[in-house]
A and B are shown apart, each in its own frame.
Chain A
Amino acid sequence: MSLDYQFFPVSRPSEGGGGKTGNWRIVKPVVNLNKCIGCKACFLWCPENTIIPTDGKVSINYEYCKGCGVCSNVCPVKAISMVSEND
């Protein structure tokens, strides 16, 4: 649709260009699949695209998840808990 000179500031989400960032984490999100209703709110909110919709539920790419906790906060059924990385 766009013409030669048109250039848009758009990119697609991808894994981190700056290397694997999973080791920044202090706490990690853990999904309780029994509670998960597959609404994908966490997928929409994850700033790093590390939540992956899987079989109607979600899983997490720990190589890039920085443990920010947004997913846990937005989960309407409290299916994601943040647990210490050392546990």
Chain B
Amino acid sequence: MISKVISGNEAVALGVKLSRVKVIAIYPITPQTYIIEELAAMRDKGELDAEVIRVESEHSAMAAVYGAASAGVRVYTATASQGLLYMHEMIWWVAGSRIPIVMTVGTRAVGAPWNIWNEHTDFMSERDSGWIMAFASTPQEALDLTIQAFKISEDERVFLPMMVGMDGFILSHTKTRVYIPSQEEVDSFLPPRKQPYVLDPEDPVDIGNMFQPIDYMKFRHSMHLAMLNSKEVIKEIGKEYEKKVVPVGSYSSLNESYKLDDAEYALVSMGAWSLDAMQVVDELRNMGVKIGLYRIRYVRPWDEEDIKRKLGDKDGILVLDRSVSFGRGGHLYLELKATLPDVNIKGVVTGLGGVAINKDAISSLTKKFIEGKTDGEWFYPSEVEKVELRNPRYIK
């Protein structure tokens, strides 16, 4: 294991290389483009023994890796924003075919209006598709989760594809120190891929064909059970990863708690700003406020039991969301509300389209919440200057 100062995108590319991926479909979209450029360069230098397919769209990217994975090899692709929406159809086909695939989503706002900065709405809008969904909060975690994703996705108890989210630019383009495992370490952790059926001319099978209603229902139930059972698999694989590969992270639970045990209040967040939120917790603790942080790492599966155990007795919970379901609020806020209906939960939707939310902003939002000056959910900043480039046509 060595450590280097690299960006989130480079960390993910290294994780993919170390996982001995055989087919990679590449299509550029900001902010993940650097991952696939990096992989193409590795292939060019002979460091990566994989087929790199240049495709004409994200829909084709997912279709290409879906085909290759159906034939039994380990595959990878990456996307973001409009690209993720464009491959939405194939995302459902892959999950419904129970084909293990790993993909990175460099989260980014969705147009219109056009915006390339960070936001989680693209990622969160895929939460019902049957993919396992993890979200990194550091480049280190992006690398670790990518390697673990192959093993989780290919586990016989799971057989569901997995996407790893990473805040666009904030993680994808920011360089920090990352521990990079050696090939031997990863090999000891990640066995060659196995799957229950493959496309093979000697023994032909049909994948994802027509199902009668009752079989379809039974099938959907099996996906639901696989998702529920994946919780144990994720913990088990996380522990093994800590032991065999990178001992710097903590992966023995789906989500992470910070100073929650004796806390009266809790913050809930996901992604890079969780680290700012940790600092806010420390700051407020110094001021005598008993507060902790619950960091969501897995959106699917949703660790309901752990959330009830850790947050069920709190006086108040503030959920920070970087995504919005219009007219209903932030996705995590809604999930938390559904998990803990009797707890006082408030949510704030902020940071959309790259609005910079630093430690001070989180701190002031948290103080506002603790002082009780909040409704159920609010937007921050909610008042923005209207942009008028010209008068609308109907005004003379």
Contact = CB atoms under 8 A, between A and B. Distances in A.
Interface SS of chain B: loop
Contacts of B221: 7
Interface SS of chain A: loop
B226 A9 contact: no
A45 to B, nearest CB: 11
A83 interface: no
Contact of B205 (A1, A5, A6, A12): A12
B197 A10 contact: yes
Interface in A23-49: 40, 43-44, 49
Interface stretch (B207-215, B243-251, B277-285): B207-215
Interface residues on B, range: 20 to 34
Interface string B192-217: 00101100010011111101000000
A11 interface: yes
Interface string B223-236: 00110010000000
A2 B229 CA distance: 13
Contacts of A9: 96-98, 207-209, 211, 219
A7 B97 CA distance: 10
Given A2-B156, A13-B204, A8 B218 contact: no
Nearest to B96: A9
B218 A1 contact: no
B182 interface: no
A12 B226 contact: no
A1 B201 contact: no
Nearest to B97: A9
B229 to A, nearest CB: 7
Interface string B74-101: 0000000000000000000000111000
Which among B194, B196, B219, B222 has the greatest number of chain A C-beta atoms within 10 A? B222
Contacts of B194: 1
Contacts of A40: 201
B157 interface: yes
B206 to A, nearest CB: 5
B135 interface: no
Contacts of A7: 218-219, 221-222
A3 B225 CA distance: 11
B201 A44 contact: yes
A13 B201 CA distance: 11
Interface of A: 1-3, 5-13, 40, 43-44, 49
Given A5-B229, A6-B196, A49-B204, 11 more contacts: A2-B159, A3-B156, A5-B222, A5-B226, A6-B98, A9-B219, A10-B205, A11-B206, A12-B204, A12-B206, A13-B205
Interface of B: 96-98, 156-157, 159, 194, 196-197, 201, 204-209, 211, 218-219, 221-222, 225-226, 229
Would you list the 6 A-B pairs with minimal beta carbon distance, nearest first? A7-B222, A5-B225, A11-B206, A9-B208, A2-B196, A10-B205
25 contacts: A1-B194, A2-B159, A2-B196, A5-B225, A5-B229, A6-B98, A6-B159, A6-B196, A6-B222, A6-B226, A7-B221, A8-B159, A9-B96, A9-B97, A9-B209, A9-B211, A10-B197, A10-B207, A11-B206, A12-B205, A13-B205, A13-B206, A40-B201, A43-B201, A44-B201
